[in-house]
Amino acid sequence: MRSYFSFLLENARWLIGGFMLCFFSSFGQTFFISLSGGYIRSEFGLSNGEFGTLFMAATLVSAICITQLGKIVDVLPNTKTIFIVLPILALACLGMAFTTSIIGLFIVIFFLRLFGQGMMTHTSIVSMGRWYSGHRGRAVSLATMGHQGGEAILPVALVILLTFVSWRTGWIVAAGICVFVALPAIYLLMRVDRKRRSTDVPAKSVASRDWTRAQVMRDPIFWALLTGVLMPPFIGTTLMFHQAYLVELRGWAPQVFASAFVFMAIFKIIFALITGFVVDKFGSIRLLPFSILPLACGCFIVAFMEAQYSIYLFMGVIGMSVGIASTLFGSLWPEVYGIKNLGSIRSVIMALMVFATALGPGITGVLIDLDVSYLLQFAYMGAYCIIASFILWVVSQKIQARD
C-alpha cells in the first residue's frame, strides 16, 4: 500500500492529466449527448429509430476518421495534441447549442464523437500505455476513472443546470468549460512528458517485438480479440442511449434510474482499480476469458428482471464489467503488440470501438421501430457474451504460446 501511495505522489501530474482527458471526453460520450436526446427528438421531429440512425451514421464517420487522426499522438507531443483536440471539442459543443437543421445536427454529433469520445480518450490511454510499464495497469485504471467521474457528476450537474436554463444553453456552458477549465488545466499537467525512471517496475508481460499497424491488421488473433473487446462499448452505449425507452417499458421511476448512475460509477471505479492491481501482477492476457462474463449477467438481468430494484443490480454488474474492460483492454495492446506504434495501432482499435458504439443505438433503435422486443435483444447480447468469453480463452492460450 505504501508503494502504491508513493506511485501516486510521484506521478500525480500525469495521472491527473490522463484522468481529466477522460473526464472531459464526457461531452462527446453517448451518456451526455443522450441527456439532451428527448429535447433533440422533440425539436427535430425524430423517432427513436431515426435519431439512433443519425447518431450511428455520425459516429461511424468519426470512427473512420480517427484511424488517420489518431496517428498524431505518435508524432506530436501531448501539448500540441491537446491544443488541437480541446478547442475543436468546444466548437462542437457550441454547434450543438445553435444548430437548427438535421444536417447541422449530424455534423455536430460527428465532431463531438470524434474529438470527445474519440481523441480525448485515445490521447489519455496511449499516454498511459507508453509512459508506464510494470505499473501500466494502475496508470490506465486511474486515468479511465475520469470516465466514471464524468458519468457520476455530469448527469446530475446537467439536470440541475437545466432547471434554470435551456438545453442549448447547457451546451454553451460545456463549451466554456472546455476552453477555460479543461484546456489550461490539462496543458499545465501534461506539458512535460514523463520519462522512464530507474525505479520503474518491469512489466510482467510484454510483446517480444513492436508490431506495425499493417502487421496487426493481418494478425488473426487481433480480430479474434475484438469479439470480446467490442462488446462493452456496444452494450453499454445501447443501454445509455435508449435509457428513457427502457424506463418507460418497465414502468420504472426515472429518478430511480438516474440515481443508479452513481451506483454504476462506484462499481466501475472499484473494479477498474482492482483490475489495475491484478493486471500489474499477472498481466492482461490471463484475465481475458473472464473480462465480459459480468456483462453477460447484466444483460440477462435487464432482459428478465422486472422489479425496480433490479436497476441497481444490472447497473452495478454492468459497471463492474466496464470497469474491468476499461483497464484490461487499455493495458492489453502494449502487452500483445508493443509500444513503438501504439498510437497508430490503438487508433484502429478506437475506431472499431467507436464503430461499436454507433452500431448499438442504431441497430437496436431500428429493431425497436420494427417492434422487436428491446428486452429480448438484451437476452441475445448476454448469450453472445458467453460465447465470446470462450473465444477469448482460446485466444489467450494462443497469445501466451506465441510469446
pLDDT by 10s per residue, the chain, length 403: 556 677 778 888 989 999 999 999 999 998 899 888 889 999 999 887 788 789 888 988 988 898 889 888 888 888 899 999 999 999 999 999 999 999 999 999 999 999 998 899 989 988 887 777 767 778 888 888 898 788 778 888 888 898 899 999 999 999 999 999 999 999 999 888 777 665 555 555 555 577 888 898 899 999 999 988 889 888 888 887 787 788 888 888 877 887 787 788 788 888 888 888 888 777 788 888 888 898 999 999 989 988 888 888 888 888 888 888 878 877 788 888 877 777 788 788 878 887 787 788 778 888 888 888 889 999 999 999 999 999 999 998 888 777 5
Report yes or no on 1 lying in a domain.
Answer: no
d(CA 150, CA 255): 18
pLDDT at residue 25, as a whole number: 94
Report yes or no on 203 lying in a domain.
Answer: no
Report yes or no on 54 lying in a domain.
Answer: yes
pLDDT at residue 353, as a whole number: 81
Report whether 262 contacts 153 (CB < 8 A): no
Backbone Cα Rg of the chain: 20
Question: Could you tell me the residue range of the domain that residue 165 belongs to?
Answer: 12-192+210-402
pLDDT at residue 185, as a whole number: 95
What CATH number is attached to the domain comprising 390?
Answer: 1.20.1250.20
The set of cell numbers assigned to 363 is 441497430
Global pTM value = 0.77
Report yes or no on 3 lying in a domain.
Answer: no
Grid look-up 475520469 returns: 146
pLDDT at residue 197, as a whole number: 60
Indicate the SS3 state at residue 223.
helix
pLDDT at residue 324, as a whole number: 86
The set of cell numbers assigned to 72 is 498524431
Report yes or no on 347 lying in a domain.
Answer: yes
d(CA 26, CA 329): 19
d(CA 196, CA 130): 10
Report yes or no on 5 lying in a domain.
Answer: no
d(CA 377, CA 250): 15
Please count the structural domains in the chain. 1
pLDDT at residue 100, as a whole number: 92
Report yes or no on 4 lying in a domain.
Answer: no
Q: What is the DSSP letter of 119?
A: I
Q: What is the DSSP letter of 204?
A: S
pLDDT at residue 138, as a whole number: 81
pLDDT at residue 127, as a whole number: 85
Report yes or no on 352 lying in a domain.
Answer: yes
